[in-house]
Chain A
Amino acid sequence: MWDCGCASKATVFPRLGELLLDSGLITEADIAEALEVQKERGGRLGWILMSLGKIRRLDLFQALADQYCIPFFRDGVDELLRHAQVELAHRLSFQEVVSTHLLPWYQEGTVLHLLTDYPCATDRQAFFAATFPEATAFRLHLVTDLDFARLVQRIYRHEMLDEAIHGLFYRAPEESANPVFTRRQILALGFLGNAALFLFYFHPILAAQFFFAAVQVLFLVSVLFKLLVSLVGAGQELAEPVTNEEVRTLRDEELPVYTILVPVYREPEVVGHLVHALKAMDYPQHKLDVLLLLEEDDTATLEAAKAAAPPGNWRFLILPDAQPKTKPKACNYGVFFSRGEFLTIYDAEDRPEPDQLKKAVVAFRKNPETVVCFQAALNYFNARENLITKLFTLEYSYWFDYLLPGLDRLGLPIPLGGTSNHFRTRILKELGAWDPFNVTEDADLGIRACASGFRVGIINSTTFEEANSRYRNWIRQRSRWIKGYLQTALVYNRRPLQMLRRLGFKNWLGFQLFILGTPLLFLCNPIVWAVFLGWLATGTKALDPFFPPLLVYIGLFNLLIGNFFGIYLNMIAVYRRKIYGLLPVALLNPLYWLFFHSVAAYKALWQLVAKPFYWEKTEHGLTRMAPPH
C-alpha cells in the first residue's frame, strides 16, 4: 500500500495557494502575482512563490506537507540520519534515489518509511514494490529538497565521489586520460626516440634536416589549416544560428527546467556578481535549477554566496573534502542532482547575456538530438585593462567568433570552451560527463561527443568573463589548457586507426590538426624563431647544410606568411564586436605567441610528464574594471 496521506484516503487535495493564504504566509496580492506568472510562464505555484521571494523554503514544504497530509521533518539531517537504516538505502543506487526523489529511511515490520522532497508522484510505486518485496506498505515523509540532497550526499558519500572521479574510467577506460600514456604509446615513443638517436648518431645532417623539415611542415600545415577554418568562419559572421525573432516567439510556459552548474572554489569576491548575473537571466526563475558547487573546506565562498541572497530555487551542493578538487569532478557531482532537461555551466566570474538560455533552447529544438551541445561565445569585459587583456581579448574574439564557427560550418569536432556550453542532460550523462583526469575536460568532452556520433554546435550569444591580467596567472591558465589538449590528443590517439574509423577521415584530420596541432605549433614556434634570429645575428654558414633550399623557402614562408596570418586574423577579430581600438595590438601577435603561448606550451609539456593531473588554478577577481550589468 502506498500511503501518501490524503491521497491514499482518496481525499481531494486542498489547494496550496489557499493553504498558504489561510496560514497568513502570503497575501492575496502575492498569490495573484504568482498566478499571473504561472499563467504566463507555467510551473509549480510553490516554486514560483519561492523564487519570487514570497515565502521561505521551510514554509513551502510545511504547506506541501499539509496539502498532502504527510509528516514534514525539519529537524535537520543529523536527526534524520539518527533514525535511518542506511543498509536499506544502499539497496538502491544514488542515481535511483535522486531520480525517484525517494530515499528508504527505515522499516517497521513490513512498513517501509520513505523520505521525499517531491510527494505523491505515483509512477514510482511499482519500482519500489519490486525492489522491496518484503514491504507491504510504503509511508512517505517530507523533507526539504536541500535536506534530501544532503541526506543523499551523506549516505552515498563514497559512491558519489567515486562515480564523480572514476565514473568515466570504469565505463570507458580507453576514453579516460588516466593513465596519460598507455603502454603501447610508451613503446611507440621509445621506439621513435631511439630511432631519432640512431639517426642523429649515424647521419647527423640528415637527422637535423628531417627534424627541421618536420617542424617547418608542421608549422605550415597548422597555420594553413587555421587560415582555412577562419575564412570559413568569417563567412558565417553575419549568420545567426538563433535569431531574436525565434527567441521572442518562445512561450515561457513551454520552456523546460534548465540546470545551471556553477563550480566555485575560493572565489568569494566574485560569487556575488554571478548571483546578480544569473538573477538577470531572461528565463523563468522557477524553471532554473541552479546548483552552486562548493568544496567542503571553502566556507568563505559559501558565506559570500549566502550573503548574496540567491533566490529560493538555488541549491548549494557541498562537495566532500577529497582530492582532486577540480572543476570536472565538481561538475560530475552536480550532474547527479540536476533536474533540467538541459544543462549548462558557468564559472563564478561569468556574465552571460540574458537571452543565452532561451537561445540554447531554440537551438536545441531546431536541431536533431544528435547535436548534444551548443557552445556560446566567450569574451572579456576587462579587455582594455592592460596589454595582456587586450591580447587575450583579441585571441578569444578570433577563437569564438571566427574559428569555432568555421569548425562548425565544416562539420569538424569542436573542442568546448570552459563554460557556457549547453547540453542535453540525458545525453551528457550517457556520454559519461567530464573526465576529471583531463585538465581541459571541456575540450575532451567535445571530442568524445564527436567520437560517439554526436555533434557540437554554436549559438550566437556571449558570456563575458574576466581576462587574466597578470602574466604568471595567464601562463598558469594557458599551460593547463595546452596540457589538456595534449592529454586529449594522447587519449584519442591510443588507437589512431580505430579513431579514424570512428570519426571519419575529415573529422580525424581536423582533430589532429586542431587538438594536436595547436600545442605543437606553439612548441615549434620558438625553434623557428631561434634558428632565424641566430642566423640573422651571426650570419653563420654553419646552418647551411641543415637547410636545403626547399626548407629555406618553407621556413621563410612560415616566418613571414605564418606570422602575417597570425596578425591579420587577429585584426579581423575586432570587427564582430566593434573593438576597433584593439586593432594595432594585433601587430604584437608574434610576440604573444612567442612569449606567452610558447612559454605556456613548454610548461605544459613538462607538466604532462611530471604532474599530468595537476590542476593549475586560475586566480579570478584580479581586475580593477567593473563587470557589465
Chain B
Amino acid sequence: MMQEIDLHGVFIPTFGVLALAAFMALAALRRLLHAVGFYRLVWHPPLFNLALYTCLLGALVMLARGVPR
C-alpha cells in the first residue's frame, strides 16, 4: 500500500484518508440503523459506535493492502 497520497504536492497519509472514509461510512450506517430502530437493542450506543467504527476502519485497511495471510 502507498504510505501517502500526493494531492497536488500536499502529501496526505493514506491512513488518514481511510479514517475519514470509515467515518463517512459510519455516519451513513448510523443513520440507516437509526431508521431501522436497531439502536433500541443497544445498551450503550456510543460504545457500539466506537466498535463499529473500529470494524469499518479495519476492514478498509485490509481492503487497501490486501488480506494478510
Partners in one complex: no
